[in-house]
A and B are shown apart, each in its own frame.
Chain A
Amino acid sequence: MISGGEMSRGPALSPAATYWNPILETMPLERLREVQFRKFRRIVTWAYENSRFHRAHYQETGFEPGDLRTLDDATLVPKVDKGHMRGIQRKDPFPYGDMLCVPLERVTEFRQTSGTTGQAVYQADTWQDWEWWAESWSYLLYAQGYRDTDRVFLPFGYNIFVAFWAAHYAAEKMGCEVVPGGVLDTEARILKMQELQTSAMMATPTYVLGMAETAHSLGIDPARDLAVRRITCAGEPGASIPATKRRIEEAWGAKVYDHCGATEIGAWGFECEEQSGGIHVNEGLFLAQVEDLETGELIEEPGRRGKMIITALDRIGMPCVRFDSKDVVEWADEPCSCGRTFRLFKGGVVGRSDDITKVKGVLLAPSAIEEVVRSFAQLGDEYEVEVTKRGDLDVISLKVEPAPGVDLSGPTQDEVLRGLKDQLRLKTNLGYKVEVVEAGSLPRYAVKARRFKDLRKVNG
């Protein structure tokens, strides 16, 4: 029972400078789990009652929402993956199919996935969901130090992909001044950022590195001539790969923060200003579980990798319940020094279960190659990996470029290649055929880079 005499207003004043919602973000774990369970039971019940897909999917296993008695029972709820979504889409209610939980007239937002791993998935959101997207982004931007004094530049296409759309609305909500760099090309974006002295920006790590290269070609040193001091990266794992993060930070003279999210899920994870080597799961708005890649066993302990199964606890139009994200993660062993009780994934998303592949019998995560290549100052930002089959043997070919202004010829090249091969063998337990190609000859990517190509099935 509430009794005012026994409670104080609480330590609300100073934490408000640090947290978007100090109550939720520092909530004792036991209470946070209670809130998560109540919200999980609610969204599962909602999906069961309002989506023909979810009801049928659950009934196939005999599951009913009433089976949920504790958070441990969450694993009883059948998982959903992109294959399910692709299977029901482009049918009535068109084009979303039976996953939709609201009448079509309630849908105000259409977005689709990039289709990197197959047919694009269509995503419906109501206006309430769109408010929720902005809310989840507000948690992460506030944790990364964005405030109403920031002028934020958004150099993305403002198109059919969700990308940084919700970041725009979140930054507005927080009182930032938002500069939409939509249709401008990279040169025009850089000049506009210089003119307006924008203090922060958000883009993929690949694009941020490419922008720095373009800026230099214009005679602009981003670290010296631009005012950007905070960059939020998303869409690729680069900002959690130490060598890539270091490159971006040096090129821009700015702090670089990682963010994880997906069209079908929402903005579920963020690196905070403490940068303690991981990303927080926003456990106020999401329930993340980690499963063993082979056995499916739930992993609660730190230091063991698995794939993330995630639920968006408040998204109603097209719910995301126990979605198999394919993201490979591991719980960190220490809480973050920022004071949030939201748990950390150590090193962010360390790979994708559908990207991690066996080469010569060894599990290879492409992000490990990036970490090694970008730790060599003599090498440029771009690289390309191809896995092919020669007879029964797997062959890994790696192409790299010299860094701008570096002459990689003769003994210097031999020395760099020797060091590179040694490091690659050390980090990935595999041997590589490495080739240095002309600077600027490898493909440049504006959005999601595809630097790793497994051609064995194509060849075979």
Chain B
Amino acid sequence: MSAPPVPPPAASPVPPPASGSNPPGFNPPEVGDPYAELLVELDRSVQAIREAALRLKKAADGMQAVERNADRVLASTRMLEINVSDLLRDSDGFASWDDHRE
């Protein structure tokens, strides 16, 4: 049994960082890394999900049905970061290590 091939990542809603304006802690992969472009593109989508979930949680204004489900999305997003974003960023850039911290 084999899994279907990885589909190409969907177009990112977040524009790529302009040259010379990488976020703090961003540790770009080396040129020649066969997965570099894919990782960067995936990370952009992961961060967009995280930011959307954080916005959703804040906008919920205490509504548990939204807040708790947003927390679950954030926990799942953290798994995406383990698989994607952590491979690109240094420890100072692990912004979502724990989104519950103030």
Contacts A35-B87, A131-B75, A316-B98 known; A149 to B32 CB distance under 8 Å? no
- Please tell me if the beta carbons of A6 and B31 are within 8 angstroms of each other in the complex: yes
Chain A hits for B19, CB < 8 A: 1
Is residue B72 within 8 Å, beta carbon to beta carbon, of the partner chain? yes
Chain B hits for A1, CB < 8 A: 19-20, 28
Is residue B60 within 8 Å, beta carbon to beta carbon, of the partner chain? no
Is residue B13 within 8 Å, beta carbon to beta carbon, of the partner chain? no
How would residues 75 to 88 of chain B score, 1 for a CB under 8 Å from any chain A CB and 0 otherwise? 11011001110110
Interface size on B, residues (CB 8 A): 40
Bound CA–CA A6/B32 (angstroms): 7
Q: How far is the CB of B51 from chain A (nearest CB, A)?
A: 17
Q: Which residue of A lies closest to B74 (CB)?
A: A128
- Please tell me if the beta carbons of B38 and A10 are within 8 angstroms of each other in the complex: yes
Bound CA–CA A128/B98 (angstroms): 9
Contacts A7-B33, A13-B5, A314-B82 known; A24 to B75 CB distance under 8 Å? no
- Please tell me if the beta carbons of B91 and A132 are within 8 angstroms of each other in the complex: no
Can you pick out 26 interface pairs between chain A and chain B where the beta carbons lie within 8 Å of each other? Answer: A4-B37, A6-B31, A7-B31, A7-B32, A10-B35, A10-B38, A12-B38, A16-B5, A17-B3, A21-B83, A23-B87, A24-B87, A38-B86, A39-B91, A41-B91, A42-B91, A45-B91, A102-B98, A102-B100, A106-B100, A128-B98, A131-B78, A135-B82, A147-B3, A149-B1, A314-B82
Q: How far is the CB of A8 from chain B (nearest CB, A)?
A: 6
How would residues 8 to 28 of chain B score, 1 for a CB under 8 Å from any chain A CB and 0 otherwise? 100000001001100000001
Q: How many A-B residue contacts, CB cutoff 8 Å?
A: 104
Chain B hits for A46, CB < 8 A: 97-98
What size tier do the contact residues of chain A reach?
35 or more
List the interface of chain B (C-beta within 8 A of A): 1-6, 8, 16, 19-20, 28-29, 31-40, 71-72, 74-76, 78-79, 82-84, 86-87, 90-91, 94, 97-98, 100
- Please tell me if the beta carbons of A147 and B94 are within 8 angstroms of each other in the complex: no
How would residues 151 to 184 of chain A score, 1 for a CB under 8 Å from any chain B CB and 0 otherwise? 0000000000000000000000000000000000
Bound CA–CA A42/B25 (angstroms): 13
